[in-house]
Amino acid sequence: MPIKDYGVWKAKPVRYTYETNEDDQVSPHLSLFFADGEDGEGRAAVNIKSGDRQESRLASWILPEFQHPITQRLASLDDGFHPLTGTAEQGRNGLALDFVRGNLFQRSQGRILPHDIPGANNDILDVLKPILDQAIADHATVHIYGSHFNDGKGIHNNHQNQGNPKRFAKDNGVYQDGGIIIQFADHWAAIFIGFASQAIHTEDGPAHAGYPIPRDGYKTWADFLLPEGDKGLQGGNDIADSPVAISAAVVNPEGPDNQPGGDPETVTLKNRTAAEVDLTGWSIRNKTGLTAELQPGLRLATGASATVELPGVPLSNQGGIITLLNAHGLKVHGVAYTRDQAREGGVVSFA
């Protein structure tokens, strides 16, 4: 079943504390304290180590420059907690987060990190502290996603909440992932954390929404982000899972939108591999979930690109996401663009 009391809390970060390996070797947390205009401080309890006994490391995406259409809507929220569970905002075109479907980050940009070990820039505390220090010093605004505490002013489950192994399967769901999105005066940043043991592909549902694909023997973030045979290095090769990438799109062609005779909206795909790729049965999905299957027999030679039209699958001029799915319906690659990037007649590059 999904996690309880899911939503987003908009506030000002005030300070934080954290537990080192000496403090807690089992379930340490970083506590981010925040103020939202009400009496007292709230607390976000951020997991900085997994409770999985076999794989306790985290997958993390620390994005100092975050561009995504969701920021346009977050900027207009009032301070305080905003429930998302069971609302129109917990879906493909809403405010909820989904690491698999929301194209919040490029998967290959993540790192697998332990909790607390000697050395610089090699554990989760090393990468979290600088961005939180900056947010506090600059009086930035934080948007903290997760589950509202039942017994006080706080929020937890600020991490991926799908693709869990069997021990934690009860928390699986879609459009209920945690995270921290930060609004600075002149830019946005984001913190996304998952567990290294979680699956990178999950079911849409409804019966088993958020469960790993396949149910057993699935690819985890550790498998995806660390090179085969060497679990001590970062920056694994993602080409096997993402052989074709979305390299560009025309989301706002010149003239009236979706009119007969007008210029079409297009997406450009690029083969990243050293072999030809057969795109039979592949499709492209927009932010509302509409899907267009690629033309039958389309094949991409090594290093080649192809530009495809999207009949019946409009790309919003107000910002959106574009997702490439393979013949099995699994995500191959995904991108996001903002309203400012959707200039009339322009090409949005995702290289």
Write down the pLDDT at residue 233. 47
Closest CA to 145 of 111, 93, 182, 110: 182
Instruction: Please check whether residue 1 lies inside any domain of the structure.
Output: no
Closest CA to 58 of 195, 175, 171, 187: 195
Q: Which helix (H) or strand (E) holds 332?
A: strand 331-338
Residue 188 and residue 256 in one domain: no
Residue 264 and residue 171 in one domain: no
**Model confidence pLDDT, tens digit, residues 18-41:** 999 999 999 999 999 999 988 789
Give the whole-number percent of the chain exceeding pLDDT 70: 95
- The domain in which residue 317 lies consists of 244-349
**Model confidence pLDDT, tens digit, residues 250-268:** 999 987 766 666 789 999 9
pTM of the model: 0.94
Six-digit token pair at 118? 């000697």
Return the number of other C-beta atoms located less than 10 Å from residue 191's C-beta: 25
Q: Taken in order 195, 200, 204, 207, is the CA torsion positive or negative?
A: negative
Instruction: Please check whether residue 207 lies inside any domain of the structure.
Output: yes
Instruction: Please check whether residue 234 lies inside any domain of the structure.
Output: no
Number of compact structural domains in the chain: 2
Residue 186 and residue 254 in one domain: no
Residue 257 and residue 325 in one domain: yes
Alpha-helix residue ranges (DSSP H) falling in the chain: 70-74, 124-137, 221-225
- What DSSP character marks residue 107? G
* Mean model confidence pLDDT for the chain: 93
Residue 63 and residue 193 in one domain: yes
For residues 84 and 96, the answer to whether their CB atoms sit within 8 Å is yes
Amino acid at 49: K
Residue 146 and residue 281 in one domain: no
Instruction: Examine the pLDDT at 321 and tell me if it is beyond 90.
Output: yes
